[in-house]
Chains A and B, each alone.
Chain A
Amino acid sequence: MRVFVCVKPVPDTAARIKVGGDGKTIDPSGVKFILGPYDARTVAKALELKGEDGEVVVVSAGMGGKGESAANKRIKDALALGADRGIFIADEAPENRDPLAVAKALATAIQNEGGHDLVLCGRQAMDDQALAVGPMLATLLDLPCVTDAVSLEVSDGKAVVQRAAEGRVETIEVTLPALITGQRDLADERYPKLKDILKAKKKSVATFDFAWPAPAYEVVSLAPPPDPVAGKIVGEGPDAVPELLKLLQDEAKALTF
């Protein structure tokens, strides 16, 4: 089976995000970029599913130019986990990309490969959390799309997907080729073996040239979230309860009687 996995470098969830000097992008200095937790698990699932003669191809878009971009490094991360080869879509201005533009770039690169049995994406990128690229990519590739998979099994040209919906788990059968977006539970996260990191260096990463469209939208400003409002201590013990109820009712309007 030929499986494409789309990945995006995202800031480490523990990183302290600062707004850059332009007020529109984050300041990348001192921020560690990682293969997001959803992406790492889709890569692991793809490796599990590909079969003996199969292939796992990792696709990512990001800043081109000299040196290794974050996207290129994350492709290497996926190759170290065992993926077979990578496709890097160079982008000189990735901060201006709306999800549709990214989906178009990924779709063009995947179509250029001439065939796919399965396309996997993480359910969302941990940084901008748009949850948009996966379903858009499915539409552009004319594939059925199942989002938020927590389990995925493939046999006889079909995939059985369990997806986490509100308060229930849905089991869906879908004909391949299909696009699935994965939840954290889709697979266990693994560390790459040190030997596989060395092998990954020798695997192919092709650069795909994509004619990026003019930006369809623009980030006008970026600001840190407002500081949380300071709490108020209304008293201690049972004596404080009447005042607390009063404030919850009148001031916070969280209670109605």
Chain B
Amino acid sequence: MSEFRGVDFFDLDDLLSDEERAIRDAVREFVDRELLDNLTIEKHHREGTFPSHLVPLLGELGCLGVTLPEEYGCGGMNNVTYGLINQELERGDSGLRSFVSVQSSLCMFPIYTFGTEEQKRLYLARMAKGEVIGCFGLSEPDHGSDPSGMETKATPDGDGWILNGTKRWITNGSIADIAIVWAQTPDGIRGFIVPTDAPGFSAPLIPGKFSLRASVTSELVMEDVKIGPEALLPETGGLKSPLKCLTSARYGIVWGVIGSMMAVFDEALRYTKQRPQFGKPLAGFQLVQEKLVWMHTELTKAQLVALRMGRLKDEGKLKHYHVSFGKRNNCWAAREIAKLGRELLGANGICDEYQVMRHLMNLESVYTYEGTHDIHTLALGQHLTGHSAFRG
């Protein structure tokens, strides 16, 4: 396989520092060697299993908790670097990127942001090494886009709590050592660090997925789970706490799906240049070129959005509505590009010898999770008009 060089129509590499480029290239090589060249991802996608042997390697490399401070054993790097790492991981597979998003943005980030010093010292360094795996329990079977209606309850019990409820669509759920669980309390929604071996806690896999097959997706079932006072993340309060985590994770997705787009575009371009029909390569036909140009244009625009968002985030100026814009636009573009990529590969596009269909199926989840396309439309609509259209 010749080297994957990325797509860079507007010389965006010139806007990256040497360090940002070097780290991107290192993760690119890691993904080539550990996931793509040796067909690891095809195997896991086919079997519906997560390549968990890569977790310690991701930790050793330094892909977990990239933006959190070095004093807690984390990366201490900027948000553009975190974005580029997500991009490269998702060029491999959305499942691998999802693992890293959940571990970093949805578990390590809330422990760092809302936790006590003891909680940070207890978990962050081990999570950065991949020794402790986390999952994030917000969505419920009956509350997806509407998390404020959550039914999971934390009832005060002495100086601790008793948890009851069910969470669903939880990435890493069945392999996690700890769950960041959001629950209703007498003081509103609060977050807890719940050990997954606590009595009454179970995390069955959700079977039969067509999407994110190389990722663990579970339910979390909590029946009278007793947790101590040390489980509470003390600085959490209200729905804005989990939404802050999601804004951080969604930022990573904005970059991640660029990786999917690149993988699909690269494969479609190579394929159509090589495959002759009617006596010349497919790439020489107008209808094929129109699709390739559309894919390339949307990919390039998505890159510009992500990079601007990254610089804003590093300057502390990125707002949640910027993130809604990026998540909405880039996931939509990635899904459309994957559909076109599949078309361009014809019948071959449906086989796992090629990547397009795997990315297309993964992107159905990515388009929907962490705020659906429509929910982000409403968030932006509210930002523009001042009117909330979420209810009735």
Contacts and interface: CB of A to CB of B under 8 A. Distances in A.
A201 B18 contact: yes
Contacts of B23: 194, 197-198
Nearest to A16: B2
Contact of A195 (B2, B37, B75): B75
Contacts of B389: none
Contacts of A176: none
Interface residues of A, number: 17
A233 interface: no
A16 B270 CA distance: 15
B60 A191 contact: yes
B57 A30 contact: no
Contacts of B30: 191
Contact of A198 (B1, B19, B27): B19
B3 A191 contact: no
Interface in A1-34: 12, 14-16, 30-32
Contacts of A30: 2-3
Interface in B33-87: 37, 57, 60-63, 66, 70, 75-77, 85
A12 B1 CA distance: 9
* Chain B: interface size category: 20 to 34
B26 interface: yes
A158 interface: no
Chain B interface, >50% SS class: helix
Interface in B1-17: 1-3
Interface string B334-355: 0000000000000000000000
A151 B216 CA distance: 40
A15 B85 CA distance: 24
A67 to B, nearest CB: 13
Contacts of B77: 194
A47 to B, nearest CB: 15
B61 A194 contact: yes
A32 B3 contact: yes
A194 to B, nearest CB: 4
A201 B22 CA distance: 9
Given A14-B37, A194-B62, A195-B62, A31 B26 contact: no
Point out which of A15, A190, A197 has the most chain B C-beta atoms below 10 A from its C-beta: A197
Candidate in A190, A193, A194 with the most chain B CB atoms within 10 angstroms: A194
A192 B26 contact: yes
Contacts of B26: 80, 191-192, 194, 197
The 7 A-B pairs of least Cβ separation, nearest first, read A32-B3, A194-B62, A30-B2, A193-B62, A197-B22, A194-B23, A198-B19
Interface of B: 1-3, 18-19, 22-23, 26-27, 30, 37, 57, 60-63, 66, 70, 75-77, 85
Interface of A: 12, 14-16, 30-32, 80, 190-195, 197-198, 201
Given A31-B3, A194-B23, 6 more contacts: A12-B3, A16-B2, A30-B3, A193-B61, A194-B26, A198-B19
13 contacts: A12-B3, A14-B37, A15-B2, A15-B3, A16-B2, A80-B26, A193-B62, A194-B61, A194-B77, A195-B76, A198-B23, A201-B19, A201-B22
